[in-house]
Structure 1
């Protein structure tokens, strides 16, 4: 079975994401990463409470619940080596085990709007986290500082291919488990 890493870009339609979308003029404003073909293990930096966008940090997301129920999405995948997927797994599990040490980089998110690089230790916004995982694990070598990477930059990554674009709930409803366990391959773009 091939190893794949998935980038999930979403627009949940919340007030906070509408403000970001108004500024960026891009369709997606949140980025997550998964190395699980079933997309049951999805990771990002985002809100810890559905009701408060300002309290955030490392999160394991349930893309079938909460804010994701009505989300639009674009899902991209990239084939990776066994070593790369092991690195991704270790990197994310290390952060997950120490998630109390990490926080959401709200200041860095606002710095992106003025193209100002702000490095904060143990603080990420969603696309910064995804970009960091991809770079640290040898999957993508970004040309811009990771603290300036946006969901749109991830969408433009040449080694990732689009596998689905549309309503996230519809994607989840239409995928059927295959014999090899790879749900993504059964989805219609």
Structure 2
């Protein structure tokens, strides 16, 4: 048997708090994880931490992604046991999403259909819990007696095939603490960050960075600074 995990989260953002006023649910984002260590976690959500309106298919990144901007995020993690055939089918489905990720969009309209129990399906578009439910459905796992477009994150909490394995702050999850320490830097190395950003802007290598703004560092400064670096590099390259 194989194990997959359903991750429900609440970042505590203004958008999340607004949603909770309507849903009255503790978690308003759902992801599916292919491993216990949460190295491969997929969902539909923000493509950029600072922009809640720019969404689509994403692979969650606990070091550089949205969660790293909200280290107080709370979560519930559920385990689901599946056979190898179902697990391999999940791998193929997610691989297809990864390959065509630029063609998928966030189903904002579909969110309005959930509270009125009216499914709104938009081609190549999903919201987070719709995506997770659809991956399970297409793999042969039936958790709900309703369309995936009516499944909310809160529905997973009452699914009888899921076993709760952890609930608490996401960065206190034992398996994640082994690989990521959000308090690595007691004080932010701003000069090293500046040198790194300038180097990345001019040589085009943005993947081998060591320092990131996170854990309460001033985000508007980061946004403004990176915009200035991009503008300066584009002018010089011309």
Match of 1:39 in 2: 38
TM-score by length of 1: 0.87
Match of 2:82 in 1: 80
The 8 Å contact of residues 64 and 169 in structure 1, kept in 2 or not, is answered as: no
Match of 2:23 in 1: 24
Query: How many positions carry a matched residue from both structures?
Result: 176
Bigger share in strand = 1
Match of 2:6 in 1: 7
Q: In 2, distance between residues paired with 1:18 and 1:71?
A: 12
Structure having greater relative contact order (Cα 8 Å, sep ≥ 6):
1
Match of 2:126 in 1: 124
Match of 1:156 among 144, 158, 168: 158
- 1:113 CA displacement: 2.6
Q: How does 1:156-175 map to 2 (within 5 A)?
A: 156-172=158-174
**Which consecutive segments of 4 or more residues in structure 1 shift more than 6 A?**
none
The 8 Å contact of residues 37 and 175 in structure 2, kept in 1 or not, is answered as: no
Out of 151-160 and 139-148, give the one that drifted further.
139-148
The 8 Å contact of residues 11 and 71 in structure 1, kept in 2 or not, is answered as: yes
Give the number of the structure whose alpha-carbon radius of gyration is greater.
Answer: 2
